[in-house]
Amino acid sequence: MTAVTEYLQQVAAAIAREDGEALAEFTDLLMTEEWVGMLLPDLQRMKQDQLDNLVEQAILSPYDLYVKSFLNYLNTPDERDYYDVAASVFAQFCQPVFAKAWHVPVVKRLCEGLMQLAVQRDAYLKKLGKKGTTYTNLQNRFSWLMSLILVDRPGFEGTKAAALVIANIALRFYANIDEWHLCTKLIRQIDQRRLDLGSYPMSQRVTFHFLVGRLKLQYQKYRGAEKHLAFALEHCHAAALQNRRTIFVLLLVARMVRGVLPHQRLLEQFELHHIFGPLIGAYKQGNFRVYDQVLEQHRAYFSALGTYFDLQMRTRMIMYRNLFRRVWVVLNQQQPTTQLDYNSLSRACRFGGVENMSIIGVESIVVSMISQGYMKGYTLPGRGVVVVSKNHPFPNPYQLAQTKKRGAKKRLSHAVLRRLPGQLRRTSANSGA
């Protein structure tokens, strides 16, 4: 009995008992050297029609076409062609074979193998001085597979079990190679199909929400990041301490940018008080000197998480709000007033570590704070003064963000109504009564 014949018998047995893990092992694009060493001599001796007949006799349709393409992949003489031939193996399984839930491990293994080959292919292209395009090609294949999974097709209902498995594999891969822009298409496909995530295992849901949260954070969509990361932290297994710690840090950053700070007890629970304790203290005081020193001290840590830019640039306006509020509190302790002069604010900025802060610079910051809602008041440019509101002149940043969200929704609904024909607009406006 030849090695190929023995191999085909084992593949046929795995298919007969619907053993997805075994079939995935036998058709792994990164198959171990032991198996390849056994099969390759026979494959090199056989003619193509002889191999085809052997497969057709041992393997039922449509699996036979898939196994043929896999054996041809093993016999590929030039490693530069591995990705292209592996992609045809991937396509051969995804359609028409992939139809049952037990096929999911096979698809998962094929995706993982194809990703590794894509890395090797792009590395080779870069050595030649060419632009690597394999990652984009791989994204198109993942998108095609996700379309097959999400579209309702009679007899293919079992494919939906792979949706989050494939999404998580792809998102994690693109996150690891820092190609975040290639993630958006898959997420959009899932959102458009309104996939019921509640029907999937919690572990898959937690991973998905974590990865989507990281993507939102990458694109400075902090509200969306907070939503997804909060779900991931709440439902992450209690024993997965390192995972929970990573999620917590990202959630902390997403909330810190929006003006929400964690309790000291949480920092101690996740053993982060030595990093975030001084950082948050400086943030609350508007002390830019200490804040930047702590940030620079732990730069490697924040950069590895992809949060350095967010903490460096996206917290500035709230820190100015905190600093100017402290000035207002001190002045009101001496004598109640609604006026803040730019000289006092300029001195406070220099004291807080912002060197060479001019009066024009202070005025620019004040105008930005008023326009963004961090300060309620109006400026008197000729007198170098800002007049603040008597009631809550420095709104809570997080509450302000929530108010902006509700206001945006209201403006959107009004904008939609304005586009409707008159009679339909009146009907829509009155339908909620």
CA 55 to chain centre: 42
d(CA 322, CA 315): 11
CA 369 to chain centre: 30
Structure tokens at 304: 């590895």
- The pTM of this model reads 0.86
d(CA 376, CA 367): 10
Structure tokens at 423: 């009679």
Integer angstrom CA distances of residue 383 from 325, 338, 369, 394, 400: 20, 14, 19, 21, 29
Q: What secondary structure letter does DSSP report for 431?
A: T
Q: Of 241, 248, 192, 185, nearest to 215 (Cα)? A: 185
Contact, 107 vs 145, CB < 8 A?
yes
d(CA 198, CA 205): 8
Structure tokens at 269: 């629970």
Single-letter code of the amino acid located at 307: T
User: For the purposes of burial, counting CB atoms within 10 Å of the CB of 398, is it exposed (0-12), middle (13-18) or buried (19 or more)?
Assistant: middle
CA 170 to chain centre: 11
Integer angstrom CA distances of residue 16 from 12, 22, 157, 362: 6, 11, 20, 75
d(CA 244, CA 376): 38
d(CA 152, CA 334): 70
d(CA 268, CA 299): 21
Q: Which residues pair with 377 in a beta bridge?
A: 388
Three-state secondary structure call for residue 246: helix
Single-letter code of the amino acid located at 359: I
* Residue 410 burial (CB count, 10 A): 10
Per-residue pLDDT in tens (0 to 9) along the chain, 433 residues: 689 999 999 999 999 999 999 999 999 999 988 888 999 999 999 999 999 999 999 999 999 999 999 999 999 999 889 999 999 999 999 988 999 999 999 999 999 999 999 999 999 989 989 888 899 999 999 999 999 998 887 777 788 899 999 999 999 999 988 888 889 889 999 988 888 899 999 999 999 999 999 999 999 999 999 999 999 999 999 999 999 999 999 999 999 999 999 999 999 999 999 999 999 999 999 999 999 999 999 999 999 999 999 999 999 999 999 999 999 999 998 888 899 999 999 999 999 999 888 999 999 999 999 999 999 999 998 889 999 999 889 998 888 877 665 554 554 444 443 444 444 333 333 333 3
Indicate the helix (H) or strand (E) that contains 169. Answer: helix 163-176
